[in-house]
Amino acid sequence: MRASFLAGEGRTLASRLEEFEMHRVDLTEGAVLEKGCVYVVPLLETLDLPAGLTAVANAKSSTGRLDLLTRTITDGGTEFDRIAGGYTGPLYAEICPRSFSVLARTGMRLNQIRFRRGQSILSDTELTELHAAETLVTGGPAVISEGLGFSVDLRPEGTDLVGWRAKPHTGVIDLDRIGHYDPSEFWDPLHASRGQLILDPDAFYILVSREAVHIPPRFAAEMAPYLAMVGEFRVHYAGFFDPGFGHSAAGGDRLARGARGALPRGAFRAGARADRRAAGLRAHGRDARPALRRGDCFELPGPGAEAFQALPELSGFRPPRKAGPCACPPA
């Protein structure tokens, strides 16, 4: 495509292709999606949403860690990744490889979708009470102000290795070859002996959070990708925390009660907070209150098949069939 675009109200995406299309690529046998280019791919799935049920999409965590910007588009859509209640029609993915050229094939899963009935956000008071009862973060004080803030760890215990930066010139990554690549071919380690790090414009970074994060099983969390007051950079591509992320019964740290996440782009000092808007805890269940938006930048896993099973009325949705990447640096 010549540029990124949305269908626009009252218009189909197909009706606008002539304005933006440069050439077509067949993914059946696999094709290279080149770094810096924009592609629009029809998805195998379609939607038939009941009225009152909306959907939100985002890139999978493995997609985000490869700096593979992936956003969902619908017919008549005026926003990326947002699908209105009652929508019936096709789905498309806008794919823009930003750091690595990738080999993609039909059936690969690069993004994911969540279905919502209503929405509610926890107030700071409710969030404070939940933290007191469930311990949402450890490793530092809970910063609660219009949501929950996280910070970047630039003084890790026992090492000065604080993250990884994508190399500017690499080979193509085959998204089906999981665990195949040597991370050192694609990533440079970052060391910060003085507890500070300057990030270069247009480079892609993975950093770790100082806090261990714990999301109780009845809640989920979302993070905002941008906050102008922090800096003009995107801090995550897949900012969704599963219900139960970091929960001890689900494999989280039984002492810290949480798990740490990874984060891209910006310039931080030790303890500096990235994107202090609410990430958003979302309560699950008819009586529960969904919830918070706020941000740092973590690339975390999305919901599994059980989320689809929980919404049997979505008869028009066909779940994806195949798994995707990665050449990510070691944890």
Kindly list the distances between the CA atom of residue 149 and the CA atoms of 72, 142, 221, 273, in Å, as whole numbers in the listed order: 27, 7, 12, 7
Q: What is the CATH number of the domain that holds 222?
A: 2.70.40.10
CB 137 within 8 A of CB 214: yes
Q: Are residues 293 and 308 in the same domain?
A: no
* Per-residue model confidence (pLDDT) at position 283: 36
* Residue 182, in any domain of the structure: no
Q: Are residues 132 and 234 in the same domain?
A: yes
> What's the whole-number mean pLDDT along residues 217-223?
85
Q: Which residue has the higher pLDDT, 224 or 242?
A: 242
Strands 137-138 and 212-213: antiparallel
Q: Which residue has the higher pLDDT, 291 or 152?
A: 152
pLDDT 10s digits, 19-42: 999 999 999 999 999 999 999 999
Residue 246, classed as helix, strand or coil, is coil
Q: Are residues 30 and 13 in the same domain?
A: yes
What distance, in Å, lies between the first and last C-alpha atoms of the chain? Answer: 35
* Per-residue model confidence (pLDDT) at position 2: 94
* Per-residue model confidence (pLDDT) at position 280: 35
Q: Does pLDDT of 270 surpass 50?
A: no
* Per-residue model confidence (pLDDT) at position 145: 84
Reported as a pLDDT band with limits 50, 70 and 90, residue 156 is: confident
* Per-residue model confidence (pLDDT) at position 16: 95
Q: Does pLDDT of 259 surpass 60?
A: no
* Per-residue model confidence (pLDDT) at position 260: 53
* Residue 164, in any domain of the structure: no
pLDDT 10s digits, 84-122: 999 999 999 999 999 999 999 999 999 999 898 887 788
Q: Which residue has the higher pLDDT, 228 or 243?
A: 243
Phi, psi (rounded to 5 degrees) for 88 = -130, 120
Q: Are residues 51 and 131 in the same domain?
A: no
* Per-residue model confidence (pLDDT) at position 290: 27
Q: Are residues 264 and 131 in the same domain?
A: yes
Q: How far apart are CA 284 and CA 198, in angstroms?
A: 39
H-type alpha helices, the chain: 17-20, 61-64, 124-134, 305-309
| Residue 87 structure tokens | 């929508």
* Residue 283, in any domain of the structure: yes
* Per-residue model confidence (pLDDT) at position 30: 94
Tell me the percentage of the chain whose pLDDT exceeds 90: 43
Return the number of other C-beta atoms located less than 10 Å from residue 249's C-beta.
8
Q: How far apart are CA 261 and CA 282, in angstroms?
A: 19
* Per-residue model confidence (pLDDT) at position 312: 38
- Mean pLDDT (the chain, rounded): 76
Q: Are residues 241 and 129 in the same domain?
A: yes
> What's the whole-number mean pLDDT along residues 174-187?
93
What range defines the domain where residue 44 resides? Answer: 1-118+171-176+303-331
Q: Are residues 136 and 93 in the same domain?
A: no
Q: Are residues 259 and 311 in the same domain?
A: no
| Residue 327 structure tokens | 């050449």
* Residue 161, in any domain of the structure: no
Q: Does pLDDT of 187 surpass 70?
A: yes
Query: Rounded to two decimals, what is the model's pTM?
Result: 0.73
Kindly list the distances between the CA atom of residue 320 and the CA atoms of 44, 45, 89, in Å, as whole numbers in the listed order: 7, 7, 16
* Per-residue model confidence (pLDDT) at position 147: 84
Listed residue (316, 312, 278) closest to 296, CA to CA? 278
Reported as a pLDDT band with limits 50, 70 and 90, residue 227 is: low
* Residue 210, in any domain of the structure: yes
Q: Are residues 47 and 69 in the same domain?
A: yes
Q: Are residues 264 and 293 in the same domain?
A: yes
Q: How far apart are CA 139 and CA 279, in angstroms?
A: 18
Q: Are residues 136 and 97 in the same domain?
A: no
**Beta bridge mates, 55:** 83, 115
Listed residue (326, 322, 150) closest to 236, CA to CA? 150
> What's the whole-number mean pLDDT along residues 42-59?
93
Q: Which of 116-125, 134-143, 242-251 has the lowest mean pLDDT?
A: 242-251
* Residue 187, in any domain of the structure: no
| Residue 58 structure tokens | 């985002």
> What's the whole-number mean pLDDT along residues 206-234?
77
* Residue 139, in any domain of the structure: yes
Number of structural domains in the chain: 2
Q: Are residues 139 and 252 in the same domain?
A: yes
Reported as a pLDDT band with limits 50, 70 and 90, residue 314 is: very low
* Residue 241, in any domain of the structure: yes
| Residue 201 structure tokens | 């414009």
